[in-house]
Amino acid sequence: MGVTAALLKRAHAYPWTALAAAQVMVQSPSSASAATKTAASVARFPLSVETPLRTTPGRSESNPYNRIWSASARSVATAAATLAAVWGAGMYETGWMIHADQGDGPSSNGEQKQGVGLQMCLQELCEHFKTRPHVITADQDERSSFSRDPSFHNPVLPDAVVRPESVDDVVAVVKACSKYKVPIIPFGAGTSLEGHVIPTESRRGITMSLAAMDAMLEFRPEDMTVTVQPGMSYNDLNEWLEPHRLFFPPDPGAGAQIGGMIGTNCGGTNAVMHGSMKDNVLSLEVVLANGDVIQTRKNTRKSSAGYQITNLFVGSEGTLGVVTSATLKLSPLPKTSSVVLMTFDSIGSAAACAAHLVSSGVPLSRCELLDDVMIRAVKVTEPLPDVPDGRTVLLVELVGTPDHVKTNVEMVSSCASDFKVKSLRMSQNDEEREELWRIRKVAYWNTYSLRSGCEVWTTDVCVPISRLAECIEQSRSDFAQAGLIAPVVAHAGDGNFHFFILFDPANSAEVELAASVNRKMVLRALDMGGTCTGEHGVGMGKMEFLEPEHGEPTLNLMRSIKRALDPDELFNPGKILPAAHLASEHVPQGAPPSPLPHTGASCSSSLTPTIDSPHTKTETTR
């Protein structure tokens, strides 16, 4: 066994030994005697594996064994946790480094340089955060929780995770990553559906969790605006706003955070009246690749002062910069609201009714369609005695003053009769309104009841409202012919719909079949003048459709914007646009003279500090 491997094996019981191994490998990888001497010295001061390292009492700074690498036990513990995990032979897995014990050389000079840059970047960040070791970790369990999202994409471990607590923290991380050409993957709640937060296998990098930056910075009720940090949950924001009779309209999946909602330009059920995220964001504070902090515009409701920089970052999926705060446009809570449930014999009739309601000027706050397969799943938990099997349901919500709501309900009833509505029920009070709206809320989770042992692939396209029924019905036929169960829900008021495809992830042929039918549906939507994604974003899953949707000249413009703002492709590489190249060949001055080793084993959890987020005030849900 190599000297460094032996040191790191002992580090499981004596974490300080890990730092000895890291230091030996950096300063003199071939010096066995120096390694042995250092390990023997450090092992005299073992730390209990049961004791969280970040709370270990500090040792005297006069002790020479402490002075070697750090000014305090806390910083030593942090350095050991991260550097040993990244550098240790037998302790860390990454595609950037090689197994020295096997005698293999690097597969390319570029790969070696990328690994060196990562190591130096983490060393600099460990030093920067030495008084707050919980901010950075390379613990495998921690990294694993940031390696995936609910999509069908395979998980990929980031090289490390940082949890900044301020704009200055974000700037420090961005500058270090820019200096050493290490990718940064901004991460919110991890609820996106197209692989947005999964690192690329070729580059990985550092995942930046913004959950700890969840503060409300400014509330101006007279202007109906609020400025929040990106880790704020929209559920928590609306709960806080309710006593002020205001709310923030976009409502994607439960647990979503403001930063991720900005990144994907999310929509939700309220979009038919209030628009998507871009329509509800006034300005952003963004950290650019060079560490500059910009404000995209003033916080007025209107501005014609130059390019609309705010909209450039909304929907950019973390590929152009890191959003550190957002000023949001609020709306007044309605005095009265009512839900109307209508049933139809076909999707065509329900979709045509929805289109007519929108074009007639009926002020719908929500307009949702659920097909008969989806209603069958809903009935597993929700009693719907007045909805016979085989019916498509259209749910519309109307808001305003009591008189306005009453008038609008009459307009909806009159319109529905023109489209052969089979039944119509209006909520009479808040309890009934919530009961009816639960039909839509449980739809996704109840889908799992239609086929046991399967996963749900959530699709997302949007077409002109006039083509909604046609696109849904043709796609339903494709899924049926493929033998796939795929109920559909639609934001019928704006032409956006989602099939929930049930598939067996262990059956590669079925996964490929689901992907093929989904691809056919997306191309059909494009042929109908629609888009490959209405609200979920591009991520990794929809990149292939950007060229047929936009054309090469528009894609070239997007590439130019990316190059201008992120020339080294460090911000969330491989999302929206394929990465043009791997990491830069640049190696900073002072880099270690030889490649550092690794094996396929994972870093030990005993080498990392206990992680918490002391400044987090919200509870996120994945």
Which tens digits make up the pLDDT trace of 234-290?
Answer: 999 999 999 999 999 999 988 899 999 999 999 999 999 999 999 999 999 999 999
Q: How confident is the model at residue 152 (pLDDT cuts 50, 70, 90)?
A: confident
- The residue segments making up the domain with residue 100 are 3-159+595-607
CA distance 561 to 545: 19
- Tell me which of 103-117, 191-205, 447-461 is least confident: 103-117
Identify the CATH number of the domain in which residue 464 sits: 3.30.70.2740
Nearest to 111 by CA among 126, 99, 124, 127: 99
Whole-prediction pTM value?
Answer: 0.78
**By three-state DSSP, how is residue 86 classified?**
helix
What pLDDT is attached to residue 558? 97
Residues 515 and 528 in one domain: yes
How large is the average pLDDT for residues 24-37?
Answer: 40
Chain position carrying tokens 């073992």: 46
CA distance 382 to 376: 10
Q: What are phi and psi of 396, to 5 degrees?
A: -125, 145
β-bridge mates for residue 284, sequence order: 326
Q: How confident is the model at residue 376 (pLDDT cuts 50, 70, 90)?
A: very high
**Is the model more confident about 182 or about 79?**
182
Compute CA distances 81 → 13, 29, 78, 169, 288, whole Å: 13, 19, 5, 19, 29
Structure tokens at 573: 């590489």
Q: What are phi and psi of 390, to 5 degrees?
A: 90, 0
Last residue of a domain, one of 386, 419, 445: 445
Q: To the nearest whole percent, how much of the chain has pLDDT over 90?
A: 72
**By three-state DSSP, how is residue 605 classified?**
helix
Q: Is the pLDDT of residue 419 over 70?
A: yes
Chain position carrying tokens 């293999």: 104
Helices (H) and strands (E) in the chain, counts: 21, 19
**By three-state DSSP, how is residue 421 classified?**
coil
Nearest to 533 by CA among 358, 315, 318: 315
- Tell me which of 37-46, 168-177, 406-415, 435-444 is least confident: 37-46
What pLDDT is attached to residue 69? 32
Q: Is the pLDDT of residue 596 over 50?
A: no
* 568 lies in some domain: no
Chain position carrying tokens 């983490």: 122
The answer to whether 132 and 179 are in contact (CB under 8 A) is: no
What pLDDT is attached to residue 451? 96
Nearest to 206 by CA among 274, 269, 121, 110: 121
Dihedral sign, Cα of residue 330, residue 335, residue 341, residue 347: negative
Mode of pairing for the β-strands spanning 461-462 and 496-503: antiparallel
Q: How confident is the model at residue 396 (pLDDT cuts 50, 70, 90)?
A: very high
Q: Is the pLDDT of residue 433 over 50?
A: yes
Compute CA distances 529 → 260, 488, 523, whole Å: 27, 20, 10
Residues 7 and 155 in one domain: yes
CA distance 14 to 297: 52
**By three-state DSSP, how is residue 219 classified?**
strand
* 99 lies in some domain: yes
How large is the average pLDDT for residues 4-26?
Answer: 39
* 146 lies in some domain: yes
**By three-state DSSP, how is residue 508 classified?**
helix
Residues 96 and 44 in one domain: yes
CA distance 390 to 99: 60
Residues 299 and 440 in one domain: no
CA distance 159 to 95: 10
The answer to whether 532 and 549 are in contact (CB under 8 A) is: yes
Half-sphere exposure for 124 (CA within 13 Å, toward CB): 20
Chain position carrying tokens 């963004």: 286
* Other CB atoms within 10 Å distance of the CB of residue 335: 12
Residues 262 and 382 in one domain: no
Compute CA distances 530 → 316, 460, 468, 526, whole Å: 20, 11, 10, 5
* 169 lies in some domain: no
Residues 290 and 418 in one domain: no
* 622 lies in some domain: no
Q: To the nearest whole percent, how much of the chain has pLDDT over 70?
A: 75
Residues 140 and 19 in one domain: yes
What pLDDT is attached to residue 114? 67
Residues 325 and 356 in one domain: no
Radius of gyration in angstroms for the set of CA atoms belonging to the chain, rounded to a whole number: 27
How large is the average pLDDT for residues 362-377?
Answer: 97
What pLDDT is attached to residue 115? 80
* 552 lies in some domain: no
DSSP 55-67: GSPPPPTTSHHHH
Nearest to 321 by CA among 48, 561, 24: 561
pLDDT tens for residues 55-110?
Answer: 222 323 333 323 333 334 444 444 444 444 444 433 333 333 322 222 333 344 54
DSSP 279-323: GGEEEEEEE-TTS-EEE-S-SSS---SSS-HHHHHTTSTTSS-EE
What pLDDT is attached to residue 386? 86
Q: Is the pLDDT of residue 608 over 90?
A: no
Last residue of a domain, one of 507, 536, 565: 536
- Tell me which of 5-9, 100-104, 485-489 is least confident: 100-104
Residues 481 and 421 in one domain: no
What pLDDT is attached to residue 579? 82
* 188 lies in some domain: no
Q: Residue type at 185?
A: I
Chain centre to alpha carbon of residue 8: 34
Last residue of a domain, one of 512, 536, 560: 536
Q: Which of the listed ranges 27-31, 89-93, 305-309, 578-582 does the model predict with the highest average pLDDT?
A: 305-309
CA distance 67 to 537: 50
- Tell me which of 18-22, 138-142, 333-337, 554-558 is least confident: 18-22
* 192 lies in some domain: no
**By three-state DSSP, how is residue 339 classified?**
strand
Q: Which class for 433: exposed (0-12), middle (13-18), buried (19 or more C-beta within 10 A)? A: middle
Residue 282 CB partners (closer than 8 Å, separation 6+) = 225, 297, 299, 300, 301, 310, 327, 328, 329
CA distance 184 to 573: 8
Residues 226 and 281 in one domain: yes
CA distance 520 to 547: 15
Mean pLDDT of the chain, nearest integer = 81
Ramachandran category for residue 618: left, alpha or beta (phi over 0 → left; psi -120 to 50 → alpha): beta
Nearest to 604 by CA among 289, 278, 140, 294: 140
Crossing angle for the helix pair 3-11 and 16-27, to the nearest 10 degrees: 160
Q: What are phi and psi of 587, to 5 degrees?
A: -120, 125
Residues 359 and 308 in one domain: no
Residues 10 and 155 in one domain: yes
Q: How many domains does the chain have?
A: 4
CA distance 19 to 79: 7
Identify the CATH number of the domain in which residue 392 sits: 3.30.70.3450
Nearest to 539 by CA among 275, 193, 188: 193
Q: Which class for 162: exposed (0-12), middle (13-18), buried (19 or more C-beta within 10 A)? A: buried
